[in-house]
Amino acid sequence: MIHIIMGLKGSGKTKKMIEEMHEVMKTAAGDVVCIEFGKTLTYDVNYRVRLVDAKEYGITNVEMLKGFLSGLHAGNFDITNVYVDNLYKSIGKPIGENVAMVEEFIAWAENFAEVNNMNLTFTVSDDPATASPVLTKYL
C-alpha cells in the first residue's frame, strides 16, 4: 500500500507521519523504517523505528532511492512499513521539474510494496490542490 501525505511547507506533514508511525508501532508485526533527509527526527521518532538519513547514503535521485528501498528489503524481509520524509529532497527535485518521473517512481513503489507485502508512506511538500491525478489517488 502507498500513502502520500501532501501539503505545503509548515502544514504538519512530518508531524502527521510521526503520529501514524507511532500508531503503527503499537500493532506492527514487523519492523518499521523511517528515511529522512538530514538528522532532524532523532528525538521525535520512537526508538524502535529504524531511522535512516538519506544524506549519509548519498541518495540523490529516484534510481538511488529505488535501489535503497530494494536493499532495505533484501537485508530484512521483516520490514512491514517504510516512511520517507520529504520525498522531493530525497530524489533531488521538486515535482514541478519532472511530474512524470515522480509518477513513475510512485507506480514502481506501489508494485514494490504489493509484491513485498509492505506499506510505504511519503511526505511531499506541494499543494494537494495541484497534485496530478496519479498522486491524488494516494492522498
CA distance 108 to 5: 18
> Domain of 29: which CATH number?
3.40.50.300
Confidence of residue 136 (pLDDT cuts 50, 70, 90): very high
Query: Longest Cα pair distance anywhere in the chain, in angstroms?
Result: 38
**Which ranges of the chain would DSSP assign to H, the alpha helix?**
13-27, 62-75, 87-91, 99-115, 133-136
Domain assignment of residue 131, given as a range: 2-136
Q: pLDDT digit string (tens) for 51-106?
A: 999 999 999 889 999 999 999 999 999 999 999 999 988 887 666 667 888 899 99
According to the model, what pLDDT value does residue 68 have? 97
Q: pLDDT digit string (tens) for 1-30?
A: 999 999 999 999 999 999 999 999 999 899
Rounded to two decimals, the pTM is: 0.94
What's the number of domains the chain is made of? Answer: 1
The values of phi and psi at residue 124, to 5°, are -135, 125
